[in-house]
Structure 1
């Protein structure tokens, strides 16, 4: 039964993504243009992006893709008030969409420093779509739509695999179907696929104790592969690396320890080398050496803690974090309507939390002392705190003298919240019973329908 419920729910996710994607203008997701540029490097072979003199780090892309990005990005900049205009004409937008990718065209350098650290392999769905579009000489509008579609269906497939391994609870499904989650899932950005991979990695680890001995090596290899992709793409999820060594400990094999160490060293080498060679000139006074700035911040823990506390206790930022966690769409310029939608969705999350925690009244409190539960809570806390450190060194001007950490958005806390939801989940034997399955997937479906309707209303 759990396979059927999971398949239906993931199918509904795809339907919701198609509806939202069909009404969302191109490149309206935050930094979506940078994600497309980085995805193209997967097929161009430029795994390490270059830095032209006097410019931010960039990548070589097909002229058709560069034109499509520039035209639609300018259209969106005018729409949100970041450019005086005039906006591109309808004829210019259509012309950009009708141009085709060509392997023989002379590439153009386009800046995308925000995506430079992300490994191209993390864009496998989008890269596959762009490769197919280039091979078939499809117009850019079709190539972009294909990138959205392949990313959406791949993300849903990864979530389906995670649900088969560990049955989700009502809170987990509710978090995955918030308007912000659905909006990002429907885009060509990295969020949907990376969230799915993070859930898959945790589910693989949780399924390890109950797996047959002959299946454990396969599970470990899948765990290593998932983490190797998702951690460099979402650096605040570095606590997932802990699962590698806990998995190796359970398997008790030399090769498992070797693959875990190899994965860790690969991630560290990639992040360190790419970070040092990335130049971001989008804002004044940004740190030119993020690694050194991070070391400096960590070596002054008192100042760092005080800065984080000032940021967390700022009432304006608290409200923004909550709203952007639930859903502020587009380039953070499309709040949900009516404004009470945020309170309603917050109440729904509270209800689903109670439904998820209902098992505690029926079970001994000893279940709460299981190590895996506290491991997930600890990983969630470390991941959430890492968001602030990463935005301090990468996006806050003059980080050594900053009064507040800038650039933090609520959507960055989705996976940490999912970790907590998985930590408080009922025991799997109870969760896989028919009443619990119905409760979880019906709850998720209700949130999915409400969030889809609210999202479509503002697009």
Structure 2
């Protein structure tokens, strides 16, 4: 009887994994062609801060793990070829009327790695940890070693980031349960595809966040105690993410989700606290270690001290700032979350964003309806997911208000929708979905709910096909026609 009970417990788990693996394979079928198209068709450095990310990755590839501060800015010496190559394509950024020309392409192909270094400024990426650029830096190191052109090296770096990020994301989808469909939908958005196919630390950070959320999701759903090895790997992943993106520190609160079983003894809460404290301390140390060397003071009218002084004298302004910010930029946050490509100068047609809203509505409904082989979610675990999302969101807005927004400004400046891609799958964990009942004795209401969920899933799975068609049209018109 015990053996039979074990089989009855294992078999639903096996079915759930089989379904999520199919979803992961479907994601690969969408992500790899779309990412390769963006990699080849998008001119170099036509994503936010692309040149500075490339400079930082080049610095790491040359052995410069720490950036340097100089003359009120920061960066460091990098090969002349990187700077010369980036300068060719700079006129395209922020200018929708400027297209890629044959002359740009020809000049770009001629530039080689010179072996001579020149001081370059990249203050907004100089503070990032070197390991966030590991795939791209490795590709750049190989390109320089084999005397490849800078353009070929740049493409190789983008390809390394694309393959690594897509592989990690597919793994996350296959691992997940309640969040699998949300991970698929968010990872298939054009904004995510843009980040994954560029030289950016987001190609490492975002899929690692997906993987952490998926692991917590599966562990909560299965109710199996987390092994010490898994705890160490989870701590390592959280440490990498939080040290690279400190506002994502809310992810550390996942450890306090009651459904995440740490220990059956009375010391479980103590182990959670120790894990949280040690991971947070390690991440803070790494973030300070890398950012201190490359930190550049913010220029007026921005001032960290001035902003803190302003808020201390008018703390109730925070409520007004939140409301004013959402009124001013709410539409932009949604559009840039779905995808405003280039340097925020390549928008899709309005109808595409409307379809995206419908897709997200279908995703929310599918997440709220019972799925096959799924346990009922507990209020405490849903609350933990909401807390993680809320804390990280507050830290994103708070950090940009303090460091990027002019003192006393009525709205928060600098926030973009892409900052929330890594956190959005948490909302699927917050949905109050009940457990699915067996296939026998289904009521009419139960069959209707199952049919509605199936229709919603089909809508979500079909949306990336629409995205690919719109993506090709957008890139061609923005950069070539």
TM-score normalized by structure 2?
Answer: 0.80
Query: Which residue number in structure 1 is paired with residue 196 of structure 2?
Result: 185
CA distances 1:30-72 after superposition (whole Å, capped 9, x unpaired): 1111111222232233232112224x21122111112112222
The answer to whether the aligner puts 1:132 opposite 2:150 as a matched pair is no
Contact 1:166 1:428 in 2 (8 A): no
Runs of at least 5 residues in structure 2 that lack an aligned partner in the other structure: 1-17, 438-449, 476-481
Distance 1:442 1:349 in 2: 12
The answer to whether the aligner puts 1:388 opposite 2:402 as a matched pair is no
Runs of at least 5 residues in structure 1 that lack an aligned partner in the other structure: none
Bigger Rg, structure 1 or 2 = 2
Query: Which residue number in structure 2 is paired with residue 414 of structure 1?
Result: 421
Q: Shift of residue 372 of structure 1?
A: 2.0
SS in 2 for 1:318: helix
Q: Shift of residue 25 of structure 1?
A: 1.0
Distance 1:139 1:421 in 2: 44
- 1:30-45 equivalences in 2 (<5 Å): 30-45=48-63
- 1:261-340 equivalences in 2 (<5 Å): 261-272=277-288, 278-279=295-296, 284-287=300-303, 290=304, 292=305, 296=309, 299=312, 301-314=315-328, 317-337=329-349, 339-340=350-351
Distance 1:387 1:90 in 2: 41
Structure 1 window deviating more from structure 2 (232-241 vs 138-147): it is: 232-241
Contact 1:172 1:421 in 2 (8 A): no
Contact 1:178 1:448 in 2 (8 A): yes
The answer to whether the aligner puts 1:27 opposite 2:80 as a matched pair is no
Of 104, 110, 119, which aligns to 1:109? 119
Distance 1:22 1:4 in 2: 28
Q: Shift of residue 436 of structure 1?
A: 12
The answer to whether the aligner puts 1:222 opposite 2:250 as a matched pair is no
Structure 1 window deviating more from structure 2 (93-102 vs 436-445): it is: 436-445
Q: Cα RMSD over matched residues?
A: 3.5
Contact 1:13 1:156 in 2 (8 A): yes
Distance 1:212 1:356 in 2: 22
The number of residues matched between the two structures is 436
Pair 164,89 (structure 1): closer, same or farther in 2 beyond 3 Å: closer
Structure 1 window deviating more from structure 2 (135-144 vs 172-181): it is: 172-181
Contact 1:10 1:159 in 2 (8 A): no
Query: Which residue number in structure 2 is paired with residue 149 of structure 1?
Result: 159
TM-score normalized by structure 1?
Answer: 0.83
Q: Shift of residue 284 of structure 1?
A: 4.4
SS in 1 for 2:410: coil
SS in 2 for 1:448: helix
The answer to whether the aligner puts 1:372 opposite 2:381 as a matched pair is yes
